[in-house]
Structure formats: structure tokens, C-alpha cells
């Protein structure tokens, strides 16, 4: 988008965003944003003249039109805006120059973060995904590998970004040594990684077994087993997904993508629908589509300014401890999550996400993580849904089994069967799914978890089926 320079026209000291990445009046006055629309900016410029000015910018006319339409639809009671949960750069590194290579990516991420925030969108995390780590540990012994990743982990803490080192293996014939190292790497750092268990060639059962082995290792060798939060078995997931821990790439780098947090937005839309499924579906699609256009316009501007390629948006409305997707379901169905109507609500959200008219990456579906959502955690304790329920919902949405709490006495064989079920569903329906299973060390079914991570809530463990 060709944004006029800030210096032009009169300075604006107050006013509200018109719903574009940066709202400017016809004089070039910026209208800072919190997501609402005013009938007249504080500089006194008329909306008609503002529209005329912005219509000349690439893509701005469609963005402003979308937001004006939503404003007329909702009036003054517009849903809460989504946040940018993940702003992820894809970087190719080598072990001798990784600090410089990652720093280059961080410059772009910080520039992008400032652009999104100027457009009125909070950015929660900046992230870096490298190529699969086995490619840059060749020739190192175990001690050297662990020292390398300690350095990377220290860099991520110092520079305030989250790091993903990609999958340990991507085919049945690859060396299994990286799998053996992966548990040790993840147990001693805050790094994220994955194992690919299914792709276009079907299910890799060796990788299924390897993923289960890593999960048991992390349960036994990290505080409260919490480092399983940074590990997943992935199936049918394409590269350049912004969300961790499944994110990966195997290209030249110099790309970025974005992922949303939107539990509160969906909750507000569904509450306003008052049980009308058609209204809920239409308005959610409109809301997500309008924000997606705005975010894409900002991303394209960043791409133009940095020469880093924008790969797309994952508009999956990821929940958090203060942005519950479980509450959204209950607003629509008027029942507890897991009751009749839950599958329908899952389909409505997924179809809305996949209807957005922008470049998409990642899961582009629905996340239902029991340990990251207080309502889902409570309903898990109450037994209104279980593993099989989540697999059923995954048939119409994504992302599989995400942060699902399991008793610490779950065996490796049981984990293999669960991961295998996720992989089978992903291959059958040719859709990206994940198994991120959080085992609670020393805990049995009927006991409450004691996770201390600020990213996780606690719940009552259920027996495995």
C-alpha cells in the first residue's frame, strides 16, 4: 500500500482508525487506531474526502469498504479485534554465522511488528524458524550439538524471540540420530521442534514411534513435563506455517508469515448471533475477511520495504488463557463445549477461516487446545468431551490434538496409537493435523495437573480410552 508520508498535512493528536493499516485523511493526516470508526477524524476531514484519498492506494479501497460495511453492520458494538499471535520469519542458518543470519531476520520482524502495531494490531510474539536442524549439525558430536543449541537458546532469550529448529526427520530413510538428540535438545532449552509423521507418501510409522519416544523423554526429563509444549508430531502440514511447534521450511529463507489469536472475536460474533447459525457464519466470515485484508495489506507493505517474501496468513483464531474459543462455542450453542452442536460450530469457524480472500498458509482451521483455554480446560475436567471427541471435531476442522493433557503413566505404545490416529485422519482427509500431547509426570487419571507454565492452565486428567 502506498501510504502518504506522516509529515504531510496537519498533525493529528487524536482520532480513531478507519480500519486500514494506517488511516490517513486527504491531507495526509494519520488517524491512529483502536479498531473503531469515527464519523469524522479529529482533523476535521470528511469521510468522503478521506475515502477518495485512500482509494488511490493499492488495495486500500477494498479494505476501507470492508470496514465501513462492518461498521454499518455492527453499529457501535463491534467485536474485539484479533491479535497477531505469531509473526514468524523463515531463516536459513549455518552454525558458524547463525547470530548474524538470525539478526537479519529480527530486523525484518521488528519492522513488521511496528507496522502491524501502527495499524492497530497487537503483536504478541516474534518467531524464527530455521531449516530442519539435521542439516546444520552434520559432523558434530553430541556435546557440540548441545552446545550449539544452548547458544541459539541464549540468543533467543537475549533478543526476545521464540525459536523453532524444524523437524528432526522427514522421511523413513533418513538418519535416526537427530531423533535421539532431539529429546536432549528440547529438554535443556526453550526451543521448539517437531517430527513429521505423515505426508504425501502416507504415514511414516518409524517417525510415529520416534515422536512417542521424544514425548516420553520430555515428560521424564523436563520440569513438570512442560517441554512437551514445544514439541509436536505433524501430519500433512505444508511449510511456512507461522504457528509453533509445527512450523518449518526447507528453502532459502527470507520469508515471513503471520498467525492470529481470535478467540475473543469469535466469542463476540457468536454472542451477537443469538443462536442463529446462518447469522453467525455470515458475520464471522465478514469479520475475519475484513481483518485479513487489512493484515495482508500491511504485510505486502513490509514485503515491499524489506524484500522478504510474505508467504501468507493463518487466520485460525487461536485461543489463549484470556481469549477463549471454548466460550465462543458456548455463546453459539447455549450448551457446554462437547454437547450437541459443538461439531456444527467447529464447521462454521473453519469454513469462515477458509473463506477469507487472502493468501493462506498453515492450518487455516480451528485450534481446540484444552491446556491453553480455561473453558476447554474446565469442560475437560467435567468430562463433556475427550480424545475421541477432539478427533471427531478434527474431521471438519484442525489442528488435531493440541496441548491435550495425558496421565504420566501413559505408555509409549499408547502414545504411538494416538499419534497414529491423528496421522490416519490427516492422510484420509488430506488436511494438516498435529499431535501435541502434554504428559503430567507422576499423575494418574482423576488427579489434577500441576503445570507451572504461564502458557498453560490446569485440569483433571482423564483415563485413556
Mean pLDDT across the chain, nearest whole number? 87
Confidence at residue 368, expressed as pLDDT on a 0 to 100 scale: 97
More reliable by pLDDT, 9 or 275: 275
Which three cell numbers, joined as nine digits, stand for 363? 492450518
Q: List alpha helices for 222-341, DSSP H.
A: 263-273, 277-306, 325-333
Please compute the mean of the pLDDT values over residues 403-421 and round it to a whole number.
98
- % of residues, the chain, pLDDT over 90: 79
Asked whether 175 and 133 are in contact (CB, 8 A), the reply is: no
- Cell 507496522 -> residue: 115
Residue range 196-252, pLDDT digits in tens: 999 999 999 999 999 999 999 999 999 999 999 999 999 999 999 999 999 999 999
Specify the pTM.
0.85
**Domain housing 6:** 1-78
Rounded distance, CA 234 to CA 211, Å?
9
DSSP letter at 457 equals -
Angle between helices 205-221 and 177-187 (to 10 degrees): 30
CB count in 10 Å sphere of residue 66: 21
Provide the domain count of the chain. 1
Asked whether 439 and 223 are in contact (CB, 8 A), the reply is: no
Where does the pLDDT of residue 397 fall: very low under 50, low under 70, confident under 90, or very high at 90 and above?
confident
Query: 231-235 and 192-199 as β-strands: parallel, antiparallel, unpaired?
Result: parallel
Confidence at residue 74, expressed as pLDDT on a 0 to 100 scale: 56
Where does the pLDDT of residue 43 fall: very low under 50, low under 70, confident under 90, or very high at 90 and above?
very low
Where does the pLDDT of residue 16 fall: very low under 50, low under 70, confident under 90, or very high at 90 and above?
very low
Confidence at residue 11, expressed as pLDDT on a 0 to 100 scale: 33
Task: Provide the sign of the torsion angle of the four alpha carbons 298, 230, 454, 161, taken in this order.
Answer: negative
Residue range 141-187, pLDDT digits in tens: 999 999 999 999 999 999 999 999 999 965 555 566 788 899 999 99
Confidence at residue 283, expressed as pLDDT on a 0 to 100 scale: 97
Please compute the mean of the pLDDT values over residues 272-280 and round it to a whole number.
97
Whether 54 has a pLDDT exceeding 70, the answer reads no
Confidence at residue 379, expressed as pLDDT on a 0 to 100 scale: 98
Confidence at residue 64, expressed as pLDDT on a 0 to 100 scale: 53
Longest dimension (CA), the chain: 68
Asked whether 436 and 232 are in contact (CB, 8 A), the reply is: yes
Confidence at residue 465, expressed as pLDDT on a 0 to 100 scale: 83
Task: Provide the sign of the torsion angle of the four alpha carbons 408, 163, 146, 195, taken in this order.
Answer: positive
Q: Is the residue at 204 inside a domain?
A: no
Q: Is the residue at 452 inside a domain?
A: no
Q: Is the residue at 55 inside a domain?
A: yes
Confidence at residue 199, expressed as pLDDT on a 0 to 100 scale: 95
Confidence at residue 4, expressed as pLDDT on a 0 to 100 scale: 34
Rounded distance, CA 123 to CA 23, Å?
19
Where does the pLDDT of residue 17 fall: very low under 50, low under 70, confident under 90, or very high at 90 and above?
very low
Asked whether 169 and 176 are in contact (CB, 8 A), the reply is: yes
- Cell 521488528 -> residue: 110
Asked whether 274 and 263 are in contact (CB, 8 A), the reply is: no
Q: For 325, phi and psi rounded to 5 degrees?
A: -80, -25
Where does the pLDDT of residue 78 fall: very low under 50, low under 70, confident under 90, or very high at 90 and above?
confident
Confidence at residue 56, expressed as pLDDT on a 0 to 100 scale: 38
Nearest one of 318, 400, 314 to 354, comparing CA atoms: 314
Asked whether 13 and 42 are in contact (CB, 8 A), the reply is: yes
Q: Is 57 exposed, middle or buried (0-12, 13-18, 19+ CB in 10 A)?
A: buried
Q: Is 274 exposed, middle or buried (0-12, 13-18, 19+ CB in 10 A)?
A: exposed
Whether 46 has a pLDDT exceeding 80, the answer reads no
Rounded distance, CA 366 to CA 263, Å?
10
Rounded distance, CA 451 to CA 460, Å?
12
DSSP letter at 172 equals T
Query: 23-24 and 202-203 as β-strands: parallel, antiparallel, unpaired?
Result: unpaired
Rounded distance, CA 260 to CA 80, Å?
13
Asked whether 369 and 403 are in contact (CB, 8 A), the reply is: yes
Asked whether 31 and 265 are in contact (CB, 8 A), the reply is: no
Asked whether 66 and 287 are in contact (CB, 8 A), the reply is: no
Residue range 293-309, pLDDT digits in tens: 999 999 999 999 999 99
Confidence at residue 71, expressed as pLDDT on a 0 to 100 scale: 53
User: In this structure, which long-range contacts are made by residues 329-336, counting pairs with CB atoms below 8 Å and at least 24 apart in sequence?
Assistant: 329/270, 329/375, 330/375, 331/267, 331/270, 331/271, 332/270, 332/273, 332/275, 332/277, 332/280, 333/275, 334/275, 336/379, 336/382, 336/384
Q: Is the residue at 47 inside a domain?
A: yes
Where does the pLDDT of residue 40 fall: very low under 50, low under 70, confident under 90, or very high at 90 and above?
very low
Rounded distance, CA 349 to CA 353, Å?
6
Say which range, 43-47, 119-123, 393-397, has the weakest mean pLDDT.
43-47
Amino acid at each position: 500500500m502506498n501510504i502518504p508520508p506522516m509529515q504531510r498535512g496537519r498533525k493529528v493528536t487524536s482520532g480513531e482508525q478507519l480500519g486500514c493499516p494506517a488511516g490517513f485523511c486527504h491531507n495526509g493526516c494519520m488517524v491512529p487506531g483502536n479498531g473503531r470508526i469515527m464519523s469524522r477524524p479529529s482533523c476535521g476531514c470528511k469521510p468522503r474526502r478521506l475515502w477518495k484519498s485512500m482509494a488511490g492506494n493499492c488495495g486500500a479501497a477494498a479494505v476501507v469498504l470492508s470496514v465501513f460495511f462492518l461498521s454499518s453492520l455492527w453499529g457501535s458494538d463491534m467485536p474485539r479485534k484479533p491479535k497477531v499471535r505469531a509473526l514468524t520469519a523463515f531463516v536459513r542458518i549455518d552454525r558458524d554465522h547463525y547470530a548474524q543470519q538470525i539478526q537479519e531476520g529480527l530486523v525484518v520482524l521488528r519492522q513488521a511488528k511496528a507496522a502491524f502495531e501502527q495499524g492497530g494490531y497487537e503483536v504478541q510474539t516474534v518467531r524464527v524458524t530455521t531449516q530442519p536442524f539435521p542439516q546444520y549439525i552434520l559432523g558434530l558430536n553430541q556435546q557440540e550439538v548441545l552446545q550449539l543449541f544452548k547458544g541459539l537458546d541464549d540468543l533467543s532469550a537475549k533478543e526476545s524471540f521464540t525459536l523453532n529448529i524444524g523437524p528432526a526427520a522427514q522421511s523413513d530413510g533418513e538418519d535416526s540420530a537427530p531423533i535421539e538428540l532431539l529429546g536432549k535438545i528440547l529438554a535443556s532449552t526453550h526451543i521448539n521442534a517437531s517430527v513429521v509423521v505423515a505426508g504425501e507418501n502416507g504415514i511414516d510409522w518409524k517417525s510415529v514411534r520416534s515422536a512417542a519416544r521424544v514425548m516420553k523423554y520430555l515428560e521424564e526429563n523436563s520440569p513438570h513435563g512442560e517441554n512437551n509444549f514445544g514439541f509436536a508430531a505433524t501430519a500433512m502440514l505444508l511449510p511456512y506455517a507461522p504457528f509453533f511447534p509445527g512450523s518449518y521450511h526447507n528453502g532459502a529463507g527470507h520469508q515471513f508469515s503471520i498467525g492470529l489469536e481470535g478467540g475473543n472475536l469469535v466469542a463476540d460474533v457468536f454472542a451477537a448471533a443469538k443462536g442463529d447459525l446462518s447469522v453467525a457464519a455470515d458475520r464471522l466470515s465478514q469479520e475475519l475477511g475484513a481483518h485479513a485484508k487489512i493484515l495482508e495489506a500491511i504485510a505486502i507493505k513490509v514485503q515491499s520495504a524489506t524484500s522478504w517474501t510474505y508467504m501468507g496468513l493463518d487466520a485460525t483464531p487461536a485461543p489463549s488463557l484470556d481469549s477463549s474459543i471454548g466460550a465462543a462455542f458456548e455463546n453459539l450453542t447455549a450448551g457446554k463445549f462437547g454437547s450437541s452442536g459443538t461439531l456444527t460450530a467447529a464447521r462454521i469457524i473453519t469454513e469462515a477461516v477458509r473463506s477469507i480472500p487472502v493468501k493462506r498458509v498453515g492450518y487455516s482451521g480451528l485450534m481446540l487446545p484444552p491446556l491453553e483455554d480455561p473453558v476447554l480446560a474446565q469442560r475437560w475436567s467435567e468430562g463433556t468431551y475427550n480424545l475421541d471427541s477432539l478427533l471427531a471435531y478434527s474431521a471438519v476442522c484442525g489442528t488435531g490434538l493440541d496441548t491435550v493433557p495425558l496421565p504420566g503413566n501413559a505408555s509409549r505404545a499408547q502414545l504411538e496409537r494416538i499419534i497414529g490416529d491423528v496421522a490416519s485422519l490427516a492422510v484420509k482427509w488430506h488436511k494438516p493435523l498435529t499431535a501435541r500431547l502434554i504428559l503430567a509426570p507422576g499423575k494418574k487419571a482423576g488427579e489434577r495437573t500441576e503445570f507451572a507454565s504461564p502458557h498453560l492452565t490446569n485440569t483433571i486428567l482423564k483415563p485413556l480410552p
